[in-house]
C-alpha cells in the first residue's frame, strides 16, 4: 500500500538515517527501485517530476502503474508516491490521481506568495491524507550550459514555512540538481545547522543527491536531513551501461535488439546505484 512519507521520515530523524527519494522515469526505473527497496527491506519514496509524469502520459498512469506493480511484486516495504517540485496546479492533479505525497515548490515566488500557497496546499493535502514538502531557497542546477553554485536558504524563512504545518522541508544549502561543477564549495553545514536550530525535529530534505561525497551525506544526516533525492546518478549509470552494450555490438548478436535484453544492463546500473544509496543513507533494514 502507498503511504504518506511523514511517518517514515520522522522515524528516520529519530534513527539518524535518511530515506532515498528516487525519481521515476519509466517502467524500468519503477520496477527496479521497488525491487531494490524490497530486497534491502528499506522504506522508499518514488519521486515524480511534472516532466516525467507527462512523459508517462500523466500522473494517473503513474499511480496505476505503481499500485499494480506493488501488488504484482508483493512489495511490503513502505512506499510513498511523491510529486517532485510541483507547481500549484500539479499538486491538485496529484491529489486527484491518488498520490500519497506532494511537494509544492514555491521557492521562486516572493516569500509572502510561497507562504499563502503553501498554507492552502497543506490544508488540502492533510484533509486528503497526503504528506507535503515545501521549499525555501531555490535549488538550481544547470541552465543554458551554466551551472549555478546553489543558493542558501534564509533560516527565518525556513521557520515561517515550517510553521505552516508542512511535513518536511527542502532548503537550499549549496546543493544543486545534476552534476556539480569542479569548483563547487560543498554543502553549507553552517546554514544547515542554523535551519535545524530554527525548525527543530522537522525532517529536512536534501535535493541534488547526485555526486555529493559520502562524508558530506553522513554529516548532513547527522544534522537532521532525513530525505535525500537522487535522479541524475541513476540516469548516468543507465546511459553508460546501455552505451557499452551497443558499443560492444551486443544488439547485433542473436536477439540482442530485444528491448528487454538491450535495457537489462541499464536496469542493473539503476539497481547498483539505488542499493548503494540505500546503504549509504542507512535506511536498509528500517522498513
Ligand atoms: P539529482 O538529479 O542531482 O540527483 O537531484 C535529484 C533531485 O533533487 C530531484 O528533486
**Pairwise CA distance, residues 141 & 150, whole Å:** 7
| Nearest atom within ligand 1 for CA of residue 233 | 4
Residue with cell 535545524: 196
Q: Are 131 and 167 in contact (CB under 8 A)?
A: yes
In the reported structure, the alpha carbon of residue 272 is separated from the centroid of ligand 1 by a whole-number distance in angstroms of 17
For ligand 1, whether the C-beta of 50 sits within 6 Å is no
Ligand 1 centroid to Cα of residue 249, in Å, is: 32
Are the CB atoms for 86 and 21 separated by under 8 Å?
Answer: no
β partners of residue 171: 136
- Name residue, grid cell 549549496: 174
For ligand 1, mutation pick of 83, 212, 230 (most atoms within 8 Å of CB) = 230
Q: Is the pTM of this model over 0.95?
A: yes
Q: Is there a contact between 62 and 93 (Cβ–Cβ < 8 Å)?
A: no
**CA terminus-to-terminus distance, the chain:** 13
Alpha-helix residue ranges (DSSP H) falling in 73-188: 88-97, 111-127, 155-162
Contact 235, 28 (CB under 8 A): no
CA of 152 to the centre of ligand 1 (A): 17
Cβ atoms 83, 48 nearer than 8 A:
yes
What's the confidence (pLDDT) of residue 238?
97
Cβ(235) to ligand 1 under 6 A?
no
Alpha helices in the chain (DSSP H): 6-15, 27-39, 50-55, 59-72, 88-97, 111-127, 155-162, 189-199, 214-222, 232-247, 259-262, 264-281
Q: What is the DSSP letter of 106?
A: -
Query: Catalytic annotation on 201?
Result: no
Q: Which residues of 40-49 are buried (b: 16+ CB within 10 A; e: fewer)?
A: bebbbbbbbb
Q: What is the pLDDT of residue 149?
A: 67
Instruction: Tell me, using a 6 A CB cutoff, whether residue 230 lines ligand 1.
Output: yes
Closest of 78, 84, 32 to residue 209, by C-alpha: 84
Taking the chain (287 residues) in consecutive chunks of 10 residues, what is each chunk's mean pLDDT? 97 98 98 98 98 98 98 98 97 98 93 95 98 88 64 94 97 92 92 97 96 97 98 97 98 98 98 98 98
Nearest to 90 by CA among 125, 137, 40: 125
Beta strands 44-48 and 19-23: pairing type?
parallel
In angstroms, the CA 187 to CA 172 distance is: 9
Q: Which three cell numbers stand for residue 172?
A: 537550499
Residue 147: count of CB within 10 angstroms of its CB: 18
Question: How far is it, in rounded angstroms, from Cα 64 to Cα 97?
Answer: 9
Q: Residue 108 has what pLDDT?
A: 86
User: CA-based diameter of the chain, in Å?
Assistant: 62
Helix (H) / strand (E) element for 267: namely helix 264-281
Residue 25 CB less than 6 A away from ligand 1: no
CA 118 to CA 159: how far, in whole Å? 13
Amino acid at each position: 500500500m502507498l503511504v504518506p512519507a511523514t511517518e517514515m521520515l520522522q522515524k528516520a530523524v529519530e534513527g539518524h538515517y535518511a530515506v532515498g527519494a528516487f525519481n521515476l522515469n519509466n517502467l524500468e526505473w519503477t520496477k527496479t527501485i521497488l525491487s531494490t527497496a524490497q530486497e534491502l527491506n528499506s522504506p522508499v519514496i518514488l519521486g515524480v517530476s511534472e516532466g516525467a509524469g507527462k512523459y508517462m502520459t500523466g500522473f494517473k498512469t503513474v499511480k496505476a502503474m505503481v499500485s499494480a506493480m506493488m501488488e504484482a511484486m508483493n512489495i511490503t516495504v513502505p512506499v510513498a508516491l511523491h510529486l517532485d517540485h510541483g507547481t500549484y496546479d500539479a499538486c491538485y492533479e496529484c491529489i486527484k490521481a491518488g498520490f500519497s505525497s506532494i511537494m509544492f515548490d514555491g521557492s521562486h515566488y516572493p516569500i509572502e506568495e510561497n507562504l499563502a500557497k503553501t498554507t492552502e496546499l497543506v490544508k488540502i493535502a492533510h484533509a486528503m491524507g497526503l504528506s507535503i514538502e515545501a521549499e525555501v531557497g531555490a535549488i538550481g542546477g544547470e541552465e543554458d550550459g551554466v551551472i549555478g553554485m546553489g543558493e542558501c536558504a534564509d533560516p527565518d524563512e525556513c521557520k515561517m514555512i515550517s510553521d505552516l504545518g508542512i511535513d518536511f522541508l527542502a532548503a537550499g544549502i549549496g546543493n544543486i540538481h545534476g552534476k556539480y561543477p569542479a569548483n563547487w564549495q560543498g554543502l553549507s553545514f553552517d546554514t544547515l545547522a542554523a535551519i535545524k536550530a530554527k525548525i527543530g525535529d522537522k525532517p529536512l530534505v536534501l535535493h541534488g543527491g547526485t555526486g555529493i561525497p559520502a562524508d558530506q551525506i553522513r554529516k548532513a544526516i547527522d544534522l537532521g536531513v532525513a530525505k535525500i533525492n537522487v535522479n541524475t546518478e541513476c540516469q548516468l549509470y543507465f546511459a553508460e551501461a546501455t552505451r557499452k552494450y551497443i558499443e560492444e555490438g551486443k544488439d547485433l548478436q542473436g536477439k540482442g535488439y530485444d528491448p528487454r535484453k538491450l535495457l537489462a544492463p541499464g536496469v542493473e546500473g539503476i539497481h547498483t546505484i539505488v542499493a548503494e544509496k540505500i546503504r549509504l543513507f542507512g535506511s536498509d533494514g528500517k522498513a
